[in-house]
């Protein structure tokens, strides 16, 4: 906020049109350079977004393959042993 007040007061103190034209030229140069910088940032963010999409796709494909490869593990513990024994008895019967 203080910067804008200082600019306004500075513009009021500028008496000659030459100084005013010089200030306009400097502001225009700053605007052009900032547009160039913003354009470069947007290009970078698009490239980064594309790379992140590719990484996400690769990770999801790897996760799908891992699900296909992994087999169900045999449960362990007393209850698991009892259930296996019951299943074996049912198969024998």
Is 20 within 8 Å of 27 (Cβ atoms)?
no
Q: What's the pTM value of the predicted model, to 2 decimals?
A: 0.35
pLDDT at res. 58: 93
Using DSSP's 3-state secondary structure scheme, residue 42 falls into helix
Q: Which helix (H) or strand (E) holds 52?
A: helix 17-69
- Model confidence pLDDT, tens digit, residues 45-92: 777 888 888 999 999 998 888 877 776 777 778 888 888 888 888 887
Using DSSP's 3-state secondary structure scheme, residue 80 falls into helix
- Model confidence pLDDT, tens digit, residues 13-58: 766 777 778 888 888 888 888 887 877 777 777 778 888 889 999 9
Using DSSP's 3-state secondary structure scheme, residue 75 falls into coil
Quote the DSSP letter at residue 71: -
């Amino acid at each position: 906020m203080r910067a804008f007040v200082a600019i306004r007061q500075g513009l009021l103190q500028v008496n000659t049109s030459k100084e005013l034209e010089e200030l306009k030229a400097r502001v225009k140069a700053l605007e052009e350079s900032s547009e160039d910088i913003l354009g470069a940032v947007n290009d970078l963010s698009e490239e980064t977004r594309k790379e992140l999409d590719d990484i996400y796709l690769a990770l999801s494909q790897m996760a799908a393959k891992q699900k296909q490869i992994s087999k169900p593990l045999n449960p362990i513990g007393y209850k698991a042993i009892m259930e296996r024994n019951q299943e074996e008895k049912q198969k024998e019967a």
